[in-house]
């Protein structure tokens, strides 16, 4: 009987110890959240990367416009011809235009993906640094997808984080 009482008391003491530990340790944790769409929208690096993308996409668009104009002009010049050499040149130019269009579309898509990965990697590093600097145990991202269903407004550090990440980004430039 004594062993049973001893086990009962031991298990209860152990459980009470765990409850006390969890209660005490969770009270000292500092946590907050950021609105990810707002951070994404106001991160200066994103604006710079969008400009970089637009420059590249516009340059590619100009190349395609030039090829298309050349194609239209050649099409008009060969409308009433049966010259096989001219028809072959036209077909080659047309094939080249469509190949470049596909190539540029794929490259633009890859560039968008790569720039997005670069931006989020940097953003995550900055937010981690912010959390360490200001003593946060957790910084949650509110993305509007249900991953954070509720948080008190006083725990919203979005504006502070935006200022911090933009300062870090400009210091790095």
Residues in a beta bridge with 156: 33
**Full-model pTM:** 0.70
Task: Give the whole-angstrom CA distance, residue 125 versus residue 130.
Answer: 9
CA 16 to chain centre: 44
- Reported as a pLDDT band with limits 50, 70 and 90, residue 6 is very low
Compare 76 and 22 and report the one with higher pLDDT: 76
CB-based contacts of 113: which residues, under 8 Å, 6+ apart? none
As beta bridge partners, residue 139 has: 32
Q: How many angstroms separate the CA atoms of 166 and 122, rounded?
A: 11
In sequence order, the β-bridge partners of residue 101 are none
Domain residue ranges in the chain:
2-172
**What's the confidence (pLDDT) of residue 22?**
44
Q: What angle do CA 64, 70, 76 make, to 5 degrees?
A: 135
pLDDT at 94: 94
For the stretch 142-156, pLDDT in tens is: 776 766 646 677 888
Dump strand ranges (E) for 14-105.
31-35
71-90 confidence digits (pLDDT tens): 999 988 888 888 889 889 99
Q: pLDDT tier at 21 (50, 70, 90 boundaries)?
A: very low
Of 33-37, 43-47, 61-65, the least confident: 33-37
How far is the C-alpha of 50 from the C-alpha of 32, rounded, in Å? 29
Bridge partner residues of 141 (DSSP) = 34
Selection from 30, 32, 26, 29 nearest residue 142 by Cα: 32
């Amino acid at each position: 009987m004594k062993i049973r009482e001893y086990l009962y008391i031991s298990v209860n003491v152990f459980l009470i110890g765990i409850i006390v530990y969890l209660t005490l340790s969770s009270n000292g944790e500092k946590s907050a959240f950021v609105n990810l769409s707002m951070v994404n929208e106001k991160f200066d690096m994103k604006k710079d990367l969008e400009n970089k993308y637009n420059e590249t996409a516009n340059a590619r668009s100009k190349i395609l416009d030039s090829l298309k104009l050349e194609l239209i002009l050649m099409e008009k010049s060969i409308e009433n011809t049966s010259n096989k050499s001219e028809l072959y040149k036209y077909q080659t130019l047309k094939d080249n235009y469509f190949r470049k269009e596909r190539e540029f579309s794929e490259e633009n898509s890859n560039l968008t993906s790569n720039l997005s990965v670069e931006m989020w990697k940097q953003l995550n590093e900055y937010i981690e640094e912010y959390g360490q600097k200001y003593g946060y145990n957790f910084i949650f991202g509110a993305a509007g997808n249900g991953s954070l269903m509720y948080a008190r407004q006083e725990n919203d550090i979005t504006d502070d984080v935006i200022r911090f990440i933009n300062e870090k980004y400009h210091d790095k430039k």
